[in-house]
């Protein structure tokens, strides 16, 4: 079948529509799925584990948030809103579902929900840095603890 301009436009529209459907599906899953406490780790303990090489820290905030405060030293920056978030997370874990990771956000709300959902998906070693970057119910936060940052 010869590809005409009309066929190319239809194909492009289908790809855009499929991408939007995936993004909407992930968003709905994110909003409606229950959150839970999961495995909680303090910011200082997460930093020490990272420094020892036994933990990967994933900063799930937005790029503007990273620019505002910096990120935990050595953290992988992975915007939670990415349509390919799970694929990118798998890449960050080198495809190993047993790799210990800790997720951090601003105040612990997003990271708590994500950690619980990743555990439901079968990841066993997911930790929530519940105090986040700025502090929250889990503690004073990465910045208030004076832990190192990457700018």
Q: What is the pLDDT along the chain (151 residues), one digit of tens a residue?
A: 565 655 555 556 666 655 555 555 554 444 434 444 458 999 999 999 999 999 999 999 999 999 999 999 999 999 999 999 999 999 999 888 889 999 999 999 999 999 999 998 888 899 999 999 999 888 999 999 999 999 9
How many angstroms separate the Cα of 99 from the Cα of each of 90, 91, 95, 117, 149?
A: 10, 11, 9, 16, 23
Cα torsion 137, 66, 99, 88: sign: positive
At the fourth CATH level, which superfamily is domain 39-150? Rhodanese-like domain (3.40.250.10)
Domain layout of the chain by residue ranges: 1-32, 39-150
Q: Spell out the residues 6+ positions from residue 137 whose beta carbon is closer than 8 angstroms to its own.
A: 108, 130, 131
Collapsed DSSP state (helix, strand, coil) of residue 73: coil
Cβ atoms within 10 Å, residue 61: 23
Whole-number Å distance between alpha carbons of 110 and 35: 9
């Amino acid at each position: 079948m010869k590809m005409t301009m009309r066929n190319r436009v239809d194909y492009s529209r289908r790809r855009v529509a499929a991408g939007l459907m995936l993004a909407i599906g992930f968003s709905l899953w994110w909003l409606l799925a229950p959150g839970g406490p999961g495995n909680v780790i303090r910011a200082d303990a997460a930093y020490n584990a990272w420094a020892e090489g036994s933990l990967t820290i994933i900063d799930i905030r937005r790029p503007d948030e990273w620019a505002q405060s910096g990120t935990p030293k050595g953290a992988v920056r992975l915007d939670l809103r990415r349509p390919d978030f799970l694929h990118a997370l798998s890449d960050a874990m080198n495809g190993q579902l047993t790799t210990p990771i800790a997720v951090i956000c601003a105040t612990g709300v997003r990271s708590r929900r994500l950690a619980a959902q990743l555990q439901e998906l079968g990841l066993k070693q997911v930790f929530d840095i519940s105090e986040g970057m700025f502090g929250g119910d889990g503690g004073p936060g990465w910045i208030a603890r004076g832990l190192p940052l990457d700018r």
